[in-house]
């Protein structure tokens, strides 16, 4: 058990909610434990009581009550050279604050009961000159490829996490869907919720809901049909206005134009046999505020499985030099 201590908020911590600052500093504590310490006045900032949602700034002093030591963890074997080379080969952008990867299809972002190899488990390979590994600030589904953002230090993690939560980021996805959506430009809105009984992320499913259903969330997706292949399939650009689980996959299936290769979300329209392989959904581009100022814009090249389908269907990615342009009037 630690004794009472006073800790100064560092410059690298940035401005953060006190509960999130505590969770980052003491990751073995649960959110419930942190909230109880704050609620009972055991945590104080510059001598004053605070609420979990209050923010701390660099230079402020935080009183930390006695905290149990973290349980000893089993030693983690070092990252293999093969995995280090692999994770570094995915880097699209790297600076002092941010790393952006081009995540491949078929590899999970985080581990689970049956997932031993995943991006989070290889982040030690992206320390480079830093002592600490970078931190994930958002997720992509296992079968979705494309832009994945990492923060290189706590201040950047807090800044980027808030940018994603406040929808200050702009994300564009490319998909190949069955059939040709009409109208060719539109916005999809619906209420959705997690289907009961699926607690493992790999088995998670979203289902249609109404506003007053328990756990219901509102989802909004903008779409533009970029090109069509004789009515059998279409290249669609998607912009999620909200960031719900499986939102794009759910919305396209509900529209009657499911994303080709999706094993979970299907529609009545038959999928052409040559499009029944891997999920054809790619996080093509990302635009977000940079922790050190300005704006960061990253475009992820198409993965091989999607490039092959584009070639098969006669789609030319050069027809969309700027992935954001089709949506500029809707920002």
For the annotated catalytic residues, the residue numbers are 141
User: Which of 24, 18, 8, 13 has its CA nearest to residue 53?
Assistant: 18
Ramachandran assignment for 321, one of left (phi > 0), alpha (psi -120 to 50 degrees), beta (any other): alpha
CA angle 87, 147, 265 (to 5 degrees): 110
User: Which of 149, 178, 168, 315 has its CA nearest to residue 249?
Assistant: 178
Q: Are the beta carbons of 163 and 291 closer than 8 angstroms?
A: no
Return d(Cα 276, Cα 34) in angstroms, integer: 47
CB atoms within 10 A of CB 243: 15
- HSE at residue 21, side-chain half, CA atoms within 13 A, is 31
Token representation of residue 260: 């080709």
* DSSP states of 209-223: E-TTSTT-EEEEEEE
Return d(Cα 314, Cα 100) in angstroms, integer: 29
Token representation of residue 175: 């998909």
- Report the SS3 class of residue 85: helix
- Report the SS3 class of residue 328: helix
């Amino acid at each position: 058990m630690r004794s009472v201590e006073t800790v100064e908020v560092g410059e690298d911590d940035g401005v953060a909610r006190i509960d999130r600052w505590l969770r980052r500093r003491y990751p073995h504590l649960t959110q419930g434990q942190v909230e109880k310490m704050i609620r009972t006045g055991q945590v104080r900032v510059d001598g004053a009581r605070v609420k979990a949602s209050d923010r701390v700034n660099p230079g402020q002093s935080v009183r930390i009550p006695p905290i149990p030591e973290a349980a000893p963890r089993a030693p983690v074997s070092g990252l293999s050279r093969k995995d280090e080379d692999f994770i570094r080969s995915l880097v699209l952008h790297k600076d002092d604050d941010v790393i952006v990867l081009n995540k491949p299809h078929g590899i999970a972002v985080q581990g689970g009961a049956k997932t031993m190899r995943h991006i989070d488990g290889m982040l030690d390979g992206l320390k480079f000159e830093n002592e600490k590994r970078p931190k994930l600030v958002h997720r992509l589904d296992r079968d979705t490829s494309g832009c994945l953002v990492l923060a290189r230090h706590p201040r950047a993690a807090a800044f980027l996490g808030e940018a994603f939560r406040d929808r200050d980021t702009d994300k564009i996805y490319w998909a190949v869907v069955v059939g040709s959506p009409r109208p060719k430009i539109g916005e999809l809105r619906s209420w959705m919720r997690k289907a009961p009984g699926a607690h493992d992320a790999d088995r998670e499913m979203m289902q249609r809901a109404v506003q007053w259903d328990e756990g219901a969330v509102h989802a909004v997706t903008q779409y533009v049909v970029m090109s069509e292949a004789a009515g059998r399939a279409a290249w669609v650009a998607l912009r999620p206005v909200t960031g719900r689980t499986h939102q794009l996959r759910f919305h396209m299936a509900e529209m009657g134009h499911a994303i080709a290769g999706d094993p979970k979300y299907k529609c009545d329209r038959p999928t052409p046999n040559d499009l029944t392989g891997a999920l054809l959904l790619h996080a093509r581009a990302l635009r977000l505020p940079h922790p050190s100022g300005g704006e960061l814009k990253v475009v992820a090249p198409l993965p091989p499985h999607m490039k092959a389908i584009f070639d098969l269907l006669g789609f030319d990615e050069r027809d969309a030099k700027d992935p954001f342009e089709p949506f500029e009037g809707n920002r």
